Structure 1
């Protein structure tokens, strides 16, 4: 009887009522991505987070992160949204570091109540970096005259085609220090007494592999997602949450599936007719 219709219904009901651990993947550069690979932002992440936190019988949220960092603002927004939803739903958040969780990626990881990494994960890079190029002599060699007009004495800073000014570099470094201080405050707020190394070690912009990250308090433990979840929530079911597919993708996907089904039906009918003809010819 358990294998019949009633058994299947009972199994579905048990599935719906069982505790869930929702898994969300955050993979890529934070902010604007490259062609064909959009970056992580509040706009792209919000639908996934909302779906994950709305799951019934939710015990915990797992955030699997693989990101070298990117936009400080988007990192802050995503991390803050995770904390808001976790507080509203009253669930714990676990972060798992994959290949690289650095800079803004680690900012987001700190939104979790616990952080785990693989033995070979690269974690940290609590710092700020800016880069550019200087082309001061290039235009002159090409016989090109650049004309630049602005209102406001500081409107044009660190222009790639103008000589570098010491005041501009000092201004940029001031911004970097402010951002760095904000990053450090966030890490201290979230990690608290778990941080076990001096500031001169933690906040230099360095990265560490998993076990060393545990030793200095940036990570709570070394472990892979399914093993840690099974240990923490042995009776819960893991539910992977994907981003909602755009309407066009859903329509095209449905058309493809319908086409495949039609081909299978036609192929089955033709095979049946061929078998029937063969029987008659006998």
Structure 2
């Protein structure tokens, strides 16, 4: 503070005007944050999950997100962390993947919802197909866009057989096992009927788990029969609404605006890894922490503006609306997205 007072004595009139604007902006922001801390607005968390559902970790610099319990656990935890939380909105975009990870994530979200007594509403972006729809059923309500792809309630296993190819080139497959069924579905050996029957049994069990999950979650809202709903077919949002797979056509921002107006504070949990999670998800959005961080950034930015003003010889100087002074918290530049150019149902 003594530094700032000394600096003010040596400033030109132009610099003092700029300093006053910066100080006023900072004061206004801190007052608003203090008021919200004393009389907090309702909180709504927006949690966004995007990518293929598969086990394994993700590198902080990877371009492809993996959705699984371990990569999403902390994000889900932080979505339920804000005080005065009224709703968690899950923005979902996934073509599917692992049935096990889909089940784990869905159950984890449901458990958090029950523990905190906070509803979860799901909003489908490009798609919630197969495992993506499994996760969507964790919400008490599901909304999608008109052209979103929804459904694909089925299970698939794929491999290729190359035994004829290697035979043609004089290659011999040598596989040794302890247990007669250990090497089932070996692509280097001819397909066995016993392997097919065992695999079909596994797929049928997993499919029934999926069906039971959907029926339990959607209940009487389902309007199609089993032969229509559970064949693995996917539909656009409008058709999914007719079949009872979604509750309406809507977007997360539109829903929040109509439900809460401006009397709400939206907390967006960031996806990604490394620093993206550390700095954008770890802090509780309350004045006690965020306000102080913002204040430090505001003062630093104001000092940079003042130094620039003192060196400026032009006819005028103005603060841009998008300057750091007008933006309390800078956005994290890291973002991880998957391409939606090709559709691949899992």
TM bucket (normalised to shorter chain) is 0.7 to 0.9
Q: Please say if 1:10 is aligned against 2:31.
A: yes
Corresponding position of 2:267 = 239
Cα distance in 2 for partners of 1:63, 1:14 equals 28
The count of residues paired between Structure 1 and Structure 2 equals 261
Which string of whole-angstrom CA distances, capped at 9 and with x for unpartnered residues, describes residues 229-265 of structure 1? 22233322222111475269979xxxxxxxxx9xx96
Describe how 1:252-267 pairs up with structure 2 within 5 A: none
Which string of whole-angstrom CA distances, capped at 9 and with x for unpartnered residues, describes residues 119-173 of structure 1? 1101000011111101012222333222110010110101001000111111111
- The counterpart of 2:43, out of the listed 20, 32, 42, is 20
Deviates more, 1:24-33 or 1:93-102: 24-33
Deviates more, 1:73-82 or 1:205-214: 205-214
Cα distance in 1 for partners of 2:276, 2:230 equals 45
State the Cα distance separating 1:12 from its structure 2 match: 0.6
State the Cα distance separating 1:87 from its structure 2 match: 0.6
Q: Please say if 1:221 is aligned against 2:282.
A: no
Corresponding position of 2:221 = 194
Q: Please say if 1:175 is aligned against 2:196.
A: no
State the Cα distance separating 1:61 from its structure 2 match: 0.3
- The counterpart of 1:101, out of the listed 119, 128, 150, is 128
More RCO (CA 8 Å, sep 6+): 2
State the Cα distance separating 1:52 from its structure 2 match: 0.9
2:44–2:85 CA contact under 8 A, matched in 1: yes
1:48–1:244 CA contact under 8 A, matched in 2: no
- In structure 2, runs of 5+ residues without a counterpart are 1-23, 280-299, 314-346
Cα distance in 1 for partners of 2:201, 2:272 equals 41
Cα distance in 1 for partners of 2:188, 2:148 equals 40
Corresponding position of 1:85 = 112
Describe how 1:53-64 pairs up with structure 2 within 5 A: 53-64=80-91
1:114–1:220 CA contact under 8 A, matched in 2: yes
2:149–2:234 CA contact under 8 A, matched in 1: yes
1:32–1:38 CA contact under 8 A, matched in 2: no
Computed over aligned residues only, the root mean square deviation of the Cα atoms, in angstroms, reads 2.8
- In structure 1, runs of 5+ residues without a counterpart are 252-260, 276-282
